[in-house]
Amino acid sequence: MAALASRELKSWLAVSGRAGDVAANHKPPRGAGRQAPMKLSTALAAILTVTLAGCVSVTTGETVSPAPAVHAAEATPMPPITIYHLEGRRSERVVWLMEELGFPYELKFVNNSLGGSLAEIRKVNPKMPTAPTVIYEDQVLMESGAIIDVILRRHAPGKLMPALDSPEYPWHQIWYQYAEGSLLPRVGTDYNVWQIKPPERRSPLVDSENVIRFAEDWLTTHPYFGGAQFTSADIMMEFALRYTWLLNIVDTDRYPAINGWLARMHARPAYQRMVATARPNGMIGPPVPLPDEARPPPR
Ligand SMILES: N[C@@H](CCC(=O)N[C@@H](CS)C(=O)NCC(=O)O)C(=O)O
């Protein structure tokens, strides 16, 4: 997606024209530092960590320093964070998460200018200027999935993910990783290649249609990607599928379960608060949709 994103940025810069002011929305604290009761799942994780501490490395024979115990069971107060943001892009995931949890955050972006917002990101994260970039205590964080995981496990344990020992947990994890690990790379690759040279037939390998169909099949039998409840897997998958829909990589009418799920995600009050704050002018610099004739017919 990096190449795709860079190409998009060129067209964004070409079309955006004006750079507005850096929007800095400082939200008042809402429920920061709530304590949650210890869950069996987090207790098991702590026990496992303590058990594994002090192992001997098989390859080197050296004693591995004991790992500090995991205190995932107790929520530590959420520190102030600053989210560096591009309107309509992955950084929305972190804003949405904060709205779901009722945690405060500062949001930085240049209104209506993806190029301007990216310039702000470069100031704090020059080596890997991607959105989201998050200032968290004295660290500069990136990778939306990692940021969400850190916030949930440290500051909201037990929320927005199934219990570790529940049957839902493995599939929650699969979908959580699938968004960036399987879906978007294949969609991005097909989009880039098909723009240059529309294929005569579909690849026999897993392609963009496969990864979307797999998600559709899951949603025909489960209300959410995490199973019965809304979880952070839904937050990860929403951008992946919404953006995929904009690329016109498939005929979206063929995926009613995804369409229904997207509508439910977008109706969530926290999602709507995110849109009002983080996408005040709508989708800035939407990607150029693939022409219908550039994609092969469905299997
Ligand atoms: N896997 C990363 C992807 C980050 C990423 O590529 N973000 C895009 C925006 S959606 C970006 O910053 N693009 C700017 C560029 O590639 O120059 C994540 O989930 O945070």
Total number of domains constituting the chain: 1
Query: Does 52 have pLDDT greater than 70?
Result: no
**Given this model, what pLDDT does residue 83 score?**
99
The ligand 1 atom nearest the CA atom of 147 = 20
Q: How far is the CA of 36 from the centre of ligand 1 (A)?
A: 32
pLDDT at 213 > cutoff 90: yes
Q: What is the pLDDT of residue 65?
A: 52
In a domain, 280, yes or no: yes
Q: Is residue 143 part of a domain?
A: no
Mean pLDDT of the chain: 83
256-296: pLDDT as tens digits: 999 999 999 999 999 999 999 999 999 999 999 999 999 98
What are 183's two structure tokens? 């879906």
SS3 content of the chain, % helix, strand, coil (to 5): 50, 10, 40
Does some domain include residue 224? yes
Tens digits of residue pLDDT in 140-186:
999 999 999 999 999 999 999 999 999 999 999 999 999 999 999 99
pLDDT of residue 179: 98
pLDDT of residue 200: 87
> Does any domain span residue 249?
yes
Nearest residue (by CA) to ligand 1, atom 5, is 130
- Cis amide bond preceding 132, omega within 30: yes
Given this model, what pLDDT does residue 19 score? 31
- CA 125 – ligand 1 centroid, Å: 12
Mark out the alpha helices in the chain (DSSP H runs): 2-16, 40-52, 91-101, 114-124, 144-155, 168-178, 184-196, 208-221, 232-247, 256-267, 269-278
Q: Flag whether pLDDT at 98 surpasses 80.
A: yes
Ranking 7-11, 132-136, 230-234, 279-283 by mean pLDDT, the lowest is: 7-11
- Phi–psi pair at 135, nearest 5 degrees: -90, 120
> From CA 114, how far away is CA 5, in angstroms rounded?
11
* End-to-end alpha carbon distance in the chain: 24
Q: Do strands 22-26 and 139-142 pair parallel, antiparallel, or not at all (unpaired)?
A: unpaired
CATH number at residue 184: 1.20.1050.10
Q: What is the C-alpha to C-alpha distance for residues 224 and 29, in angstroms, rounded to an integer?
A: 29
Query: Is the model more confident about 15 or about 266?
Result: 266
Is the minimum distance from the CB of 51 to ligand 1 under 6 angstroms? no
Q: How far apart are CA 225 and CA 218, in angstroms?
A: 8
Provide the domain limits for residue 257: 168-294
User: Does residue 217 form part of some domain?
Assistant: yes
Residue 203 located in a structural domain: yes
